[in-house]
Structure 1
Amino acid sequence: MKINNFIYILLAAYLATFLRITINNNFLISIIGSFLVGFFIRRRLGVSTEKILLSGFFSCFTSFSGFIYFLYKILNQGDWIQFIIFFNLIIIVNLFIMIFGFWISRKIT
């Protein structure tokens, strides 16, 4: 991989981190990120562009650590029922949103 691709991945990660801090809503970020991942996966991008978007932008934008921190805060309050509901809800909703993004991308082409 060329050095330019690493620079582009870093810039994409920086932009994603900035957007994540600006939005400051883990659920909304995961919904937007899941939709866009599904949308761009369907596009069959070049290897470099795919790495820049998936490894650089979306990995920093949707950040698994944000999801875990959100669940940790609920669990730390001792509310197991709410924890189980949010855990399953977030995973299921994000999966369907990603499939929806994939479907929308397919309809556009």
Structure 2
Amino acid sequence: MKINNFIYIILAAYLATFLRLTITNNFFISIIGSFFLGFFISKRLSYSTKKILLSGFFSCFTSFSGFIYFLYKILNQGDWIKFIIYFNLIVIVNLFTMLFGFWISRKIT
């Protein structure tokens, strides 16, 4: 991989982090990120473009640590039932949102 691609990955990560800071709702961010992740996975993109989008932009935009922190706050309150419901809901909804993005992308092309 060329040095230019590393610079593009860093710039994509910077842009994603900036967008991530402007939107404070973790669930909304994960839904948007999952949809577009599924959308771009189905596209025939070059290796470097996939790395820039998937490793640079989407990994910083969806921010797994935000999801974990949200669950940690619920768990810290001692509400196990709410924790289990939110954990499963977030994972399942994001999975289906990603599959929907994949499906939409296939229908468009």
Q: State the Cα RMSD in Å.
A: 0.4
Question: Structure 2 length normalisation: TM-score?
Answer: 0.99
Any gaps of 5 or more consecutive residues in structure 2?
Answer: none
User: With structure 1 as the length reference, what TM-score do the two structures score?
Assistant: 0.99
What are the ranges of 5 or more consecutive residues in structure 1 without an aligned counterpart?
Answer: none
1:28-43 counterparts in 2 under 5 A?
Answer: 28-43=28-43
What is the deviation of 1:44? 1.9
What do residues 72-100 of structure 1 show as CA deviations (whole Å, max 9, x unaligned)?
01001111000000000000000000000
**Residue 26 of structure 2 corresponds to which residue in structure 1?**
26
Residue 66 of structure 1 aligns with which residue?
A: 66
Q: CA deviation at 1:13?
A: 0.2
Deviation at 1:39, TM superposition (A): 0.1
Deviations 1:46-82 (A, max 9, x none): 0000000000000000111111001001001111000
Tell me the number of residue pairs that the alignment of Structure 1 and Structure 2 aligns: 109
Runs of 4+ in 1 over 2 A off after TM superposition: none
- Residue 9 of structure 1 corresponds to 9
